[in-house]
Amino acid sequence: MMCFSPGRWGGEQFVAIIANTHLLVLEDVAERLRLLVAASAARSQEIRVTISVGGADATKNDTLESLFRRADDKLYEAKNFGRNCIRI
């Protein structure tokens, strides 16, 4: 069973811990979330809302710090790639 726990992380960032899954599922969840935001009601108000998503999978040697650092690196990679995309 997949467990999804979102929360605010810093100024304009959010973090979600998705337990009991693998990279293909993580990528699918991230893409569905990106598409939902892009199709949000705000778009009809002439305000374009998009998100960039970075993700990483935990390894047995990870600390929370190393896991979040890798996910954060992927987030900035997505932003630098052109935004409104995901990098896992």
Active site residues: 12
Question: Nearest CA to 17 among 44, 46, 72, 55?
Answer: 55
**Rounded Cα gap, residues 71 and 13, in angstroms:** 12
Kindly give the pairing relationship between strand 53-54 and strand 14-19.
unpaired
What is the distance between the alpha carbons of residues 40 and 6, in angstroms, rounded to a whole number?
A: 18
